[in-house]
């Protein structure tokens, strides 16, 4: 019979604190920590418990929880708010716990019957007594169980400590891999280290943890973290340094509270200490993170090295001109004055560093093709090996360049043979072998990538950068292309006559208007439109209508792109991707996996078959597949790069053998079809490389091109809009473009020029 006095009946709506033991796991999602368990209370009453946990709970362990009692499908359940490790009490709980130890399942009851409530204390702290009192249990076995108990207690206590800091299971795993057994000591001593070691942890979050741990307002660790974080965050604005006055102001803003002001002398001292320790460099009142200071000097040294050129042994400039004339007569090609200047300048000497710049439609790629044809003849005449490597910063940019030139083009990461373990394996000790290095979309080069690229180019190689300084500067820190052009150290030819898409292109007409700071207009060529709408709701409705009209005219989702300057808001990419999925892919088979790129507070979007997606990280070792009937076969080529867009073609349940677990596991596989291959996404780490791509930020679109681009413009975008960002969005379109939105915000953005807002020191270093 049941002991009615011991039945623990919970009532919906109450908040309770209970000790319990998980007896079976119904569900656990590792990346979020959400789990559902059958649990037994100390009374013996069984319930279902759900909540977010630091990791998969150990069956048989005793926990204490604070929980809300709720009803789900007519069943009383517990929703956990807080969980703590508790000492097992009572026969059933202690036996459950003992049975979690290796080799102790059958003997757990006998050990409990011998030592009763002292069982765990005795086995942990005096295992020899257990060996003496219990027949068939040797000293070595008891010591092994004692060690297991101590390790389990430490691990669970550590997990709950880390979880209490607000870390996810994935972040806990990263910390444990980083710090090992010292993780708790590290975080209790200096939680500000999370800023550098755990993605998503900024100063404010770490400061809350630190202050709760008793770290004082003016503690040196806090001030140093504030300085370092300020400089680190400034690099995301494109800066390679901050002026001394600016960093002092910004550090004060994050360190001070409503009631306390940080003494400037203490900030000064923290900066000087970081300089002495090699973390920072101060030069002419400019404060750098040391690596950015070093990287800029690397670019200076490598630019000087590569800019050095020599006379050809067998051809001079007149002979190069003669070779060019023969080529033009044979092909019927006409070159504008600046195009001709570029061909002759870039071909008349061996080696050298050259930049071919120009706005959209000026024929940079066309001119490059002529340059390479002439160089091939010049190299042959001088009996020098002709070998060219064309690269671009992103996968999409490399594909656009490859189509335009008809020549192979790869990403810089692939060209420099990046390895996750070793970094770039093409470097100053193992340079590229080609005699001509071409980099398209060089405005996208940030300081770090430019440094790695230049270090990997061999002495005597000819370097040619193509770029448009009117586009957005790099996402990363620096203004490399503009600084190189301004330095006078490299040969620069700027094309100034529109060639691409013909003189009648409305897209190019509006691009030139933007360059001149003039308001754009709907063009009579019917390829570039400006539609005025006031409210965000009307802008969204018209954007959907325009998209639908393009689909009805025969364009595919892959050929149409919505571009917007920001992520949040009604006309940010989070909401636009949600709305466009609902409008244009409402019935696609839905995954159980949601988009991991969405921040807290945004409504979840789950992936569906038919969704347009983008791969957001370089993954050059990724296996690629082609489809043969209903069978996917791996191909020799490997790697998928940041910025490549595709469509989800399949969502399937896939089963394969897990060697570590020793059993089959079934998981959901998302298969994405890209332009010329398929990619499988199986794990959380895989799927974290995906994002929805009906709408992209304009920054993310750099280097890409689509047949049609729609740019919604909201008054809420005003802070983000400037000449570069509007120009960049427009010039991503090859056949059709439409601005839809607030005309005042659009015109104000066109007349706002911010390109020199970045703090970079490369130009001064080059000029020194």
* Residue whose tokens read 């960093």: 247
Q: CA–CA distance from 190 to each of 207, 210, 216, 564, 636 (Å)? A: 10, 7, 12, 39, 47
Among 747, 754, 753, 755, which Cα is nearest to 518's?
747
690 alpha-carbon distance from chain centroid: 10
Helix (H) or strand (E) holding 128: helix 127-133
**Tokens at residue 64, please?**
């204490």
The predicted-structure confidence for 550-607, as pLDDT tens digits, reads as follows 999 999 999 999 999 999 999 999 999 999 999 999 988 888 888 888 887 788 899 9
Q: What is the residue-wise DSSP string for 358-386?
A: E-TTS-HHHHHHHHHHHHHHHHHHTT---
pLDDT value of residue 84: 85
Q: Which residues pair with residue 70 across a beta bridge?
A: 77
Higher pLDDT, 4 or 756: 756
How would residue 500 be classed by pLDDT, with cut points 50, 70 and 90?
Answer: very low
Residues in the chain: 768
Strands 690-692 and 678-681: unpaired
Helix (H) or strand (E) holding 678: strand 678-681
The predicted-structure confidence for 683-733, as pLDDT tens digits, reads as follows 878 888 999 999 999 999 988 899 999 999 999 999 899 999 999 999 999
Please check whether residue 484 is in contact with residue 355, taking contact to mean a CB–CB distance below 8 angstroms.
yes
How would residue 40 be classed by pLDDT, with cut points 50, 70 and 90?
Answer: very high
725 by Cβ neighbours in 10 Å (0-12 / 13-18 / 19+) ranks as buried
pLDDT value of residue 697: 96
Higher pLDDT, 151 or 486: 486
CA distance 467 to 367: 13
| Three-state secondary structure of 48-106 | EEEEECCCCCCCCCCEEEEEEEEEECCEEEEEEEEEEECCCCCHHHHHHHHCCCCCCCC
Asked which of 150-164, 189-203, 232-246, 661-675 is least confident by mean pLDDT, the reply is 150-164
The predicted-structure confidence for 422-436, as pLDDT tens digits, reads as follows 889 999 999 999 999
pTM of this structure = 0.79
Kindly report the average pLDDT of the chain as a whole number.
89
pLDDT value of residue 1: 34
pLDDT value of residue 2: 36
Burial per residue of 557-588, b for 16 or more beta-carbon CB atoms within 10 angstroms, e otherwise: bbebbbbbbbbebbbbbbbbbbbbbeebbeeb
Q: What is the DSSP letter of 192?
A: G
- Where do the domains of the chain lie, and which CATH numbers do they carry? 14-157 (2.40.50.140), 190-284 (1.10.10), 294-495 (3.40.50.300), 506-754 (3.40.50.300)
The predicted-structure confidence for 207-236, as pLDDT tens digits, reads as follows 888 887 788 999 999 999 999 999 999 999
| Ramachandran assignment for 90, one of left (phi > 0), alpha (psi -120 to 50 degrees), beta (any other) | left
The predicted-structure confidence for 291-303, as pLDDT tens digits, reads as follows 999 999 999 999 9
CA distance 743 to 93: 69
Q: Which phi and psi (to 5°) does residue 560 adopt? A: -115, 135
Strands 462-467 and 353-358: parallel
pLDDT value of residue 29: 78
Higher pLDDT, 16 or 703: 16
Report the share of the chain in percent with pLDDT over 90. Answer: 63
Higher pLDDT, 90 or 479: 479
Please check whether residue 727 is in contact with residue 514, taking contact to mean a CB–CB distance below 8 angstroms.
yes
CA distance 595 to 688: 8
**Tokens at residue 132, please?**
């003496």
Average pLDDT over residues 655-668: 75
CA distance 368 to 351: 16
Residue 649 has pLDDT above 70, yes or no: yes
Helices 723-730 and 506-515, interaxial angle, to 10°? 170
CA distance 187 to 342: 58
pLDDT value of residue 755: 60
Residue 662 has pLDDT above 80, yes or no: no
Average pLDDT over residues 20-37: 86
pLDDT value of residue 4: 38
Residue 275 has pLDDT above 90, yes or no: yes
Q: What is the DSSP letter of 595?
A: P
Asked which of 615-619, 670-674, 690-694 is least confident by mean pLDDT, the reply is 615-619
Higher pLDDT, 405 or 171: 405
Kindly tell me the sign of the dihedral angle through the C-alpha atoms of 435, 440, 443, 446: negative
Residue 33 has pLDDT above 90, yes or no: no
Strand order in the sheet with 286-289: 242-243, 286-289, 280-283
CA distance 163 to 155: 12
Residue 3 has pLDDT above 50, yes or no: no
Among 232, 227, 263, 261, which Cα is nearest to 247's?
227
Higher pLDDT, 73 or 746: 746
Residue 390 has pLDDT above 70, yes or no: yes
* Residue whose tokens read 């757990």: 108
Please check whether residue 547 is in contact with residue 562, taking contact to mean a CB–CB distance below 8 angstroms.
yes
Give CA angle at 108 (107, 111), nearest 5°. Answer: 85
Q: How far apart are the first and last CA of the chain?
A: 92
Among 65, 82, 52, 86, which Cα is nearest to 17's?
65
The predicted-structure confidence for 438-483, as pLDDT tens digits, reads as follows 999 999 999 999 999 999 999 999 999 999 988 888 889 999 999 9
Please check whether residue 475 is in contact with residue 446, taking contact to mean a CB–CB distance below 8 angstroms.
yes
The neighbour count for residue 6, using CB atoms within 10 Å, is 11
Residue 320 has pLDDT above 50, yes or no: yes
Higher pLDDT, 61 or 516: 516
* Residue whose tokens read 């896939």: 654
pLDDT value of residue 81: 92
Please check whether residue 346 is in contact with residue 354, taking contact to mean a CB–CB distance below 8 angstroms.
yes
CA distance 21 to 33: 18
**Tokens at residue 446, please?**
């940030």
* Residue whose tokens read 């490597």: 389
């Amino acid at each position: 019979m049941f002991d009615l006095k011991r039945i623990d009946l919970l009532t919906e709506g109450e908040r309770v604190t209970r000790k319990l033991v998980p007896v079976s796991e119904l569900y656990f999602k590792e990346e979020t920590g959400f789990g559902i368990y059958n649990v037994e209370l100390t009374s013996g009453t069984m319930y279902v418990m759900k909540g977010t946990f630091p990791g998969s709970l150990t069956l048989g362990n005793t926990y204490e929880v604070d929980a809300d009692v709720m009803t789900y499908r007519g069943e009383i359940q517990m929703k956990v708010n807080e969980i703590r490790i508790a000492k097992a009490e009572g026969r059933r709980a202690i036996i459950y716990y003992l049975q979690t130890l290796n080799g102790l399942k059958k003997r757990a009851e006998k050990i409990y019957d011998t030592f009763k409530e002292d069982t765990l204390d005795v086995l942990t702290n005096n295992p020899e007594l257990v060996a003496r009192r219990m027949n068939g249990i040797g000293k070595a076995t008891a010591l092994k169980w004692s060690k297991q108990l101590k390790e389990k207690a430490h691990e669970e206590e550590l997990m709950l400590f880390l979880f209490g800091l607000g870390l996810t299971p994935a972040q806990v795993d990263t910390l444990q891999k980083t710090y090992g057994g010292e993780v708790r000591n590290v975080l209790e001593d200096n939680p500000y280290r999370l800023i550098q070691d755990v993605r998503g942890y900024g100063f404010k979050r770490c400061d809350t943890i630190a202050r709760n741990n008793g770290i004082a307002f003016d503690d040196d660790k806090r001030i140093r973290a504030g300085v370092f974080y300020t400089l680190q965050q400034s690099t995301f604005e494109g800066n390679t340094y901050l002026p001394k006055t600016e960093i002092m102001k910004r550090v004060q803003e994050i360190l001070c509270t409503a009631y306390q002001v940080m003494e400037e002398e203490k900030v000064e001292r923290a900066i000087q200490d970081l300089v002495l320790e090699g973390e920072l460099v101060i030069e002419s009142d400019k404060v750098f993170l040391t690596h950015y200071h070093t990287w800029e000097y690397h670019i200076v040294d490598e630019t000087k090295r590569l800019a050095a050129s020599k006379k050809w042994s067998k051809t001079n400039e007149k002979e190069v001109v003669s070779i060019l004339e023969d080529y033009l007569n044979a092909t019927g090609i006409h070159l504008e004055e600046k195009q001709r200047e570029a061909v002759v300048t870039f071909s008349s000497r061996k080696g050298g560093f050259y930049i071919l710049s120009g706005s959209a439609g000026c024929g940079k790629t066309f001119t490059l093709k002529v340059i390479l044809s002439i160089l091939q003849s010049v190299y042959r005449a001088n009996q020098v090996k002709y070998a060219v490597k064309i690269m671009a910063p992103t996968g999409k940019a490399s594909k656009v360049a490859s189509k335009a030139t008809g020549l192979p083009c790869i990403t810089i990461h692939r060209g420099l043979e990046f390895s996750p373990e070793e970094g770039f394996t093409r470097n100053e000790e193992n340079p590229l072998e080609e005699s001509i290095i071409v980099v398209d979309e060089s405005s996208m080069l940030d300081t770090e990538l430019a440094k790695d690229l230049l270090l990997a180019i061999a002495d005597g190689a000819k370097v040619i950068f193509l770029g448009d300084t009117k586009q957005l500067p790099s996402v990363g820190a620096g203004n490399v292309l503009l600084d190189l052009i301004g330095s006078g150290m490299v040969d620069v030819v700027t094309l100034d006559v529109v060639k691409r898409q013909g003189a009648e292109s409305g897209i190019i007409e509006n691009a030139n208007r933007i360059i001149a700071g003039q308001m754009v207009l709907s063009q009579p060529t019917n390829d570039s439109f400006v539609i005025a709408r006031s409210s965000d709701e009307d802008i969204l409705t018209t954007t959907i209508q325009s998209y639908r009209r393009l689909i009805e005219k025969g364009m595919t989702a892959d050929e149409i792109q919505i571009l917007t300057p920001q992520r949040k808001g009604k006309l940010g990419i989070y909401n636009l991707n949600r709305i466009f999925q609902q409008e244009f892919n409402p019935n696609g088979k839905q995954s159980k996996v949601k988009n991991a790129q969405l921040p807290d507070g945004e409504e979840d979007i789950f992936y569906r078959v038919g969704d347009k997606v983008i791969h957001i990280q370089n993954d050059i070792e990724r296996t690629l597949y082609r489809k043969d009937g209903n069978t996917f076969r791996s191909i020799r080529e490997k790697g998928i790069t940041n910025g490549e867009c595709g469509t989800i073609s399949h969502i399937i349940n896939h089963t394969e053998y897990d060697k570590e677990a020793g059993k089959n596991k079934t998981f959901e596989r998302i298969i994405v079809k890209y332009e010329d291959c398929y990619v499988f996404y199986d794990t959380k780490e895989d799927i974290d490389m995906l994002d929805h791509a009906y709408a992209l930020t304009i920054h993310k679109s750099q280097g890409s091109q689509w047949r049609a681009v729609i740019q919604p413009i909201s008054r809420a975008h005003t802070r983000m809009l400037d000449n570069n960002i509007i120009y960049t969005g427009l010039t991503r379109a090859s056949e059709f473009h439409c601005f839809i939105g607030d005309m005042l915000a659009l015109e104000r953005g066109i007349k706002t020029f911010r390109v020199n807002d970045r703090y970079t020191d490369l130009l001064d270093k080059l000029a020194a």
